[in-house]
Amino acid sequence: WRQTVLTVLTEFRRTARVNGSARSDHGTAGAAFVVGGAVAGGRVLADWPGLHPAALFEGRDLAPTLDLRAVAKGVLAGHLRLPAAAVEAAFPGSADVAPLGGLLRG
């Protein structure tokens, strides 16, 4: 267990506000969970913009504050120790997204 990292990333999101049919649409911001014995856990690594109307993305959606590719890249680079070229190959076109550091125990 102490060498384990489990990453759960979701692409399924819903808007904070309902639409004209009293339902929610596909949303923008999601969540990621990184758990395991190798994880420096016990914290939330994001900003909480809130649900106030002025804080909503496009006036109806939770605003994203962290690119989930940064989380996945941080696990690939830090835990699996993949070289930068392999990490970039896993996420083509994301060179501007740096791996998130500090996810794992030192």
Q: What is the pLDDT of residue 12?
A: 76
50-89 pLDDT per residue, tens: 889 899 988 888 888 899 999 999 999 999 999 999 999 9
Instruction: Name residue 100's amino acid.
Output: L
Question: Is residue 44 predicted with pLDDT exceeding 90?
Answer: no
Q: State mean pLDDT over 31-56.
A: 91
| φ and ψ at residue 8, rounded to 5 degrees | -120, 115
In the chain, % helix, strand, coil (3-state, to 5) comes to 20, 15, 65
